[in-house]
Every structure is written in C-alpha cells, then in structure tokens.
Amino acid sequence: MESALTITGAFKRYSTNNVVLKGLNMNVPFGTIYGLLGPSGCGKTTLLNCIVGRVELDVGIIVTRAKVKADVGYMPQDVALYSVLSIEETFKYYGRLYGMTFSEIERRTEQLVKLLDLPSEDRILETLSGGQQRRVSFALALIHDPQLLILDEPTVGLDPVLRQSIWEHLLKLASNGKKTIIITTHYIEEARQAHIIGLMRGGVLLCEDAPTQLMLTHNCDNLEQVFLQLSHKQHNADGEEDQTEYKSIPYPEKPKHKSPPSLSGEGWFLWSRFMAQLIKNWYFMWRNKAMMIFLLGLPLVQCTLYNLAIGHDPEGLNIAVVAEELTNGLGECVNLPKTGCFLNLPLSCRYIDKIRGRAINLVEYNKLEDGRAAVGLNKAWGVLHFAHNYSIALAERINLTADASDLAVELSQLNVWMDMSNQYIGNMLREDLISGYADFLQDVFKDCGWPPHAANIPVRFEDPVYGSRNPSFIHFASPAVIVVFMFYLPLMFTVGVMLYEKMAGILERCMVAGVTALEVVVAHSVVQFVVLCIQGMLMMIIMYQVFDSPFVGNFFLTSVLLILQGLSGMCFGFLISVISDTMNTASFMGIGSFFPLCSMSGMLWPQEGMHTILKSIGWLLPTSLPTEAMRALTARGWGMDHKTVYKGFISSCVWILFFCVMTRFVIKIRKGLRAK
Ligand SMILES: Nc1ncnc2c1ncn2[C@@H]1O[C@H](COP(=O)(O)OP(=O)(O)OP(=O)(O)O)[C@@H](O)[C@H]1O
C-alpha cells in the first residue's frame, strides 16, 4: 500500500533525562485513518508536533506526500484560538491564511457548522463551552480540505452521537476524498473504526496493523487486551534477546542525521497570509475595545495629569514673621503708606507687602523662639526676623553705604531660618524672598529719587537665547515625557499581544498553518504604526496645544523622531516577548527597564549632573539621545544639521536594529536549546 507518511528512527528528547521518542518507526498508508493509541505521556503529541514541524526531531527522517504546510490540517490538543473572535471571524482568518476566497470560506463554514453542530457563527469563542471550542478547532483543521489531517484527540469530551458522526465523516473523507488522517484518542474502542492502529508505549510503536488483524494475531477479543499483552512483552523485553522489536533503542551518543523539515512553507512572505494577519489584527482590536480605549486614552490621561500635577509652583506656603520693630505687630502696616521715600517709617512692612502672594502665606509670631518652633513643628517653611530697629539701621546702611557702622550693618540684616528638607520648596521660597527683597529695595530707591538699578547686584540678564526668562520644570521634562511614553506604549502593546498569542499556543498554530515570523512581525508593525501615530498625535496636541509647552521646531522632524522612538519600543517589545514565557517575566522586564531608563535618560535630572560613570553610559540608553534631540527640536528649533538632533535619530535607528538582531539571536538560541 502506498505510504502517505513514514517515520524512520525518530529520536526526540526535551532534556538528557527526558527522552520521549526512542527510535520510533511509523508507516501511515495513503487514504487511511491511522489511530495512534497509547497511555498519557508516551509521546503521541510530541510525535504529531514533529510531523507538523512544531518540534524538530533530534534524529530520524520524516517523509510525507504532503509537501507544503497548507497540505496539512492540524488540530492541536489545546484549543489555541483567539478567544475574543467570533466563530465566523476565526473561520475567515484561517480560510484566508490558506488562500481561500471569502465565498469558499462561507460555503465551507456552512458545511462544517452543520457537520459539527456548531452554535451560531456570530458567537464569540470565549462564550462557548470547552467542547464547542474544540469542535471549532477541529473545523479549522478541515476548512481548507487538506490531504493530510493530524488530529490530536479531536473527540475528547464530545457527545457519543456527535463522536460517531465525526468518525463517519472522517471515514468518508478517507475513502471518497482519499485523505490520510492520523488521529490520537483515549477511547480505544472508538479507534477500532480506524483502518490502521499504532500502539505506542514508552516512545516506541509496539505494533501497527489493522485492528481486526491485531486482535487476530494476538488472539484477543478487543484492542485493550492486545495493548495489555504487548505492554507486558515490552516490560519483560529487556532481558530477552528475541524480543528486540519492543525494546526502546538508546539515545544516540552523537545525534547526526537530522532530517530537513518534512513540510515547507510557501515563501517568507505571502500577501494573502499577510492580509489574513492584518484582518485578524483588526478583528482582535475591534473585539478588544476596552484595551484600545486604554491604549489611546492612556497617553491622553497621562499627558493631561502630567501637565496638571507636575511643574507648577507650590502655593499657600506658611512663612513665620517676627517683626520686633513693629510694636503692634503686622496690623500696624495697614495704616502706613505703601509708596514714598519714608525711611523713618518701618520698612519691614513694605518688604512684607512685596512677598505676600499666592505662594507665601505670612503667619505672625511675637517672639523669635516661637517662630523657629513653628518651623520645627512643620507649621511654617521658614521664619523671617526683623530686628527691633531694623528700618533705622537699613536707612543708615543706604545713606552712608561704606561709612555705615558695623551695628547698623548687623541690624539691617533680615535673618531667615528655612526648612530646606524639601529641595524644591526650599529653593523656591529662597528665590522668592531674595527677588522680593530686590524689588522692595528698587521701589524704595525709585521713590527716593535714586537710580533703582543701584539697588541690585551689578549683573544684568538679557533676554534668553533659547527658552523663556522663567523656565519651568514642566517645559524641561515634557520632551522627555513624550519620548518615554512613545517608547513604552508600543512596548506594552507589543508584549501584551505577542505574549497572549504565544502563551495560548496561537502563534505556533498559525505557524503550523504556514504563517511566517516575518508576516507576523510586519502585520503587527503595520497595526502598531497606526496606533503609535495616533498616540503621538494625541500627546503632541495635549502637550503643545492644550498646555502650551514651547514648540518652536519642525513638526515633521519631531513626528519622525517620535515614530522612530515608537518603533524602537515596539522592537524592544518583540525582544521581551521572545525572552519571556509568562506575563510575569515580561512585566518584570518592562518595569525593571522603566526606572533606569527614566532616571538615566535625563528625564528627571540633567545628564550633566549624573555620576561620571553613569554619565559615560547613560547617553547610550534608548531614550537618552532622542530626549535631547526632542528638546533641541521643540525648544531650540534646531534642524537635522545640528549634532544633538541627528544623534537622536541615529540612536533610535541603532536601537531598532539592535533589538531586531537580539530578537533574532534569542529565537535562534532558544531553538537550539529546545533541540538539545
Ligand atoms: N515542551 C516540553 N518540554 C519538556 N517536556 C515535555 C514537553 N512536551 C512534552 N514533554 C514531556 O514529554 C513526554 C511526552 O509528552 P506528550 O505530550 O508527547 O505525551 P502524550 O502521549 O501526548 O500524552 P497525553 O496523551 O497526556 O497528551 C511527557 O513526559 C511530557 O512531560
């Protein structure tokens, strides 16, 4: 009888102590149903995985009439389908993968829904029972009418009537359609309907023959007894010379003749398969509306929160005031003139008036000890102390300048004790108190007819070359915030989607159907590109239109830089997805990389202020140079001819390349490890 598939001398192990296939030989005649029977863990699934190319044999040869992956219909043990897609969408996706037209898919869907008693086509897979999901999975193996069907326990958990109708259909396929079917099942009696039975135990096939012939040869009434008899023989075979056929062959010392994959794909990139991937991605996003809203809403919310929460000067900060020269306290100030050259009146009132504002809230204390205690108890951020004849001493200091007495210099001093435990608040208050003093003194000089500038230190800050006179932290950090978000949002999306497909076995199932890694990556990149363009646009609108961060640069160049940054994050996502096998590992990698990237990329603090060693490597990080380039583009309006700008672009491109090469490298290493 002509062979549809032969396996010779197959060995496969997952580790040195876990040899699963031990020199297995198998012959599946053309146009038959081959029932592969064996106890749990004997290696049936591993064998089927080797046939469809999910797993590589270490040693051995697989020869099959099926030449390309599309000639095979495969139903894995796990459902491995997109649970958020409907039955119809799933059929369309797989149909398109196999190059079927939409009308062919429709016709076939109708037949299969009837045959397998599937629920309505618009039902979402996750709403189906386990048995219904398995039937959808089975239908997908049949959808393109393949010549070789590999079915891993297709009838488990099904109603006996349905099981019978499935077997009848398989028999029809084998006899009328000349299809070859390899099927594993736990129901031994059900397997009697197969044309050939292969009894597998301990990584070898104990025998393969027609079920009736098997029972006849071994003089048994049923297959169960045959299996028991053969299992005993295999168990006792070790010591007996004449029963070598049951012995498992030791794993070869140096596995050498690895056979090439028995099934080839149809090229690295097929437009129809790529389009099928795109359609599936669209269905996936459409069904995951909550995820998409989150992905597009997150940059909006994050940028808005960032602008509302960060960078604004604190307000309502208490400052204690002890003015010994005011016998009736600060209330005295109300009746004093706010302007004019009255050096004999308490000048502390005019200064206090200058600093009183939104940021500073003045709280009066009678004694210096009380004021200082208030700072100690965190009731005030600082205490201002005016001596009892502060104004007289200050007037003497102004009038006599160089001839003023030491006592006058001492008493004209405004003493301040600050709580500097909070760097930003401490520095801001200090700056306000000093600039307020300069303003107050200038006013006095002006009112007395003296040149106001003489009250200042002789340094004049002209209009800044770049930026504003009062730059804010928010303007410093916003380019970095956009760059970091543009890196991490695609990373999250890519890792989420890729790991979901990988962990559910969906990716492998698609690859068995012929999809290539290139098609998966390109289809994902197209979707990701659209998503990241929208995300980037939203962030730019929030940052530069709604909240008015300075933007004096070239919009096109800035957009290109952000897109490159997004692609770099996506490629990092690919790398994390191939390294990690679980969401936990991926989360650790994502979170673990987030903080070093934020702290060392100049987002929170200028790189110039970092430790020398960190400074020498910090610029290498994927967000460092692009952040500087973004600042140069948006705040300085520099172009591509400037080093800071083009270095940002080069950095993003190099990181994209690096992540891609590393991803390829990790895939290769992991493949090598699996093969060992
Ligand atoms: N990816 C893997 N890594 C390591 N060991 C594996 C892997 N896959 C399978 N094994 C081991 O190989 C052996 C055979 O597993 P396999 O799934 O092929 O058996 P099976 O006959 O299909 O069992 P069942 O009928 O329960 O599905 C088992 O001991 C299993 O633990």
Strand pairing category for 317-323 and 3-15: unpaired
Residues 330, 125: Cα–Cα separation, whole Å = 76
Rounded to two decimals, the pTM is 0.83
Parts of the chain with a pLDDT under 50: none
- Give the pLDDT score at 247: 60
| CB-based contact 16:635 (threshold 8 Å) | no
- Give the pLDDT score at 239: 55
Distance 156 CA to ligand 1 centre (A): 17
| CB-based contact 104:61 (threshold 8 Å) | no
- Give the pLDDT score at 66: 87
- Give the pLDDT score at 676: 60
Distance 451 CA to ligand 1 centre (A): 92
Closest CA to 412 of 377, 434, 386: 386
Q: Where in the chain is the domain with CATH 3.40.50.300?
A: 1-66+147-217+228-265
- Give the pLDDT score at 238: 59
| Residue 43 Cα: closest atom of ligand 1 | 18
Q: Which of 45, 150, 186, 205 to mutate to test the pocket of ligand 1 (most atoms within 8 A of CB)?
A: 45
Distance 211 CA to ligand 1 centre (A): 26
Distance 472 CA to ligand 1 centre (A): 61
Q: For tokens 């010994």, what's the residue? A: 324
Q: If one looks up domain 317-455 in CATH, what number appears?
A: 3.40.1710
Residues 651, 664: Cα–Cα separation, whole Å = 20
Distance 20 CA to ligand 1 centre (A): 8
Distance 189 CA to ligand 1 centre (A): 23
Residue-wise pLDDT tens digits, 626-655: 999 999 999 999 999 999 999 999 999 999
Residue 18 in contact with ligand 1 by CB distance below 6 A:
yes
| Residue 46 Cα: closest atom of ligand 1 | 18
Q: Which of 42, 155, 156, 186 to mutate to test the pocket of ligand 1 (most atoms within 8 A of CB)?
A: 42
Residues 139, 157: Cα–Cα separation, whole Å = 16
Q: Where in the chain is the domain with CATH 3.40.1710?
A: 317-455
Using CA atoms, how far residue 35 sits from 38, 167, 180, 181, in Å, is 10, 11, 11, 8
| CB-based contact 573:492 (threshold 8 Å) | yes
Strand pairing category for 382-386 and 317-323: parallel
Q: 1-66+147-217+228-265 is classed in which CATH architecture?
A: 3-Layer(aba) Sandwich (3.40)
Q: Apex CA 113: angle with CA 111 and CA 117, to 5°?
A: 125
3-class secondary-structure state, position 235: helix
